[in-house]
Amino acid sequence: MPINRVVIALDENHEPYVENKRIARKYNSDAVAQTVKTRLLLIRQEWFLNLDAGLPWFAEMLGKRSNITTIKSYVATQILGTEGVVEITRLDVIIDKQNRAFEMYYE
C-alpha cells in the first residue's frame, strides 16, 4: 500500500526550507525518512505539547549508563512507530566512551 505523505522540508539545521519564496515540501518516502529523523532527534520532555514524545537520550540512553541494547530498543521502537515504516533492515549503534562519541546508522 503506497504512502501518501507530505511534510514541510527541513534544511540541514532542521529549519523549514524555503525554495522560490515558498516553503518546500517532501513527499512519500522522503517525507517518511524526514519524519523518522525528526522523531529520533526529539528529546523526551522537549515538546511542550506532548512531554512523552521523543527519546530519553540524556536521562536513560547516553552517559555512564550507556547500553547498546537499550539504545537499539528505544530507537527501533521510535522508527517502527513512524507511519509509513514497515521494517528496519539495519540498525548499528557505536559508542566510544573514551572520546564521548556516539554514532548511529539505520535503514
Which uninterrupted H or E stretch holds 34?
A: helix 28-41
Q: Report pLDDT for 2.
A: 60
| Residues 59 and 44: beta-carbon distance below 8 Å | yes
- In whole angstroms, give the CA distance from residue 93 to residue 90: 10
Its sign, for the CA torsion 58, 59, 64, 69, is: negative
- In whole angstroms, give the CA distance from residue 104 to residue 20: 34
pLDDT in tens, 28-83: 999 999 999 999 999 999 999 999 999 999 888 988 878 899 999 999 999 999 99
Range 72-95 average pLDDT: 95
| Residues 72 and 80: beta-carbon distance below 8 Å | no
Give the count of alpha carbons within 13 A of 52, CB side only: 0
| Residues 33 and 88: beta-carbon distance below 8 Å | no
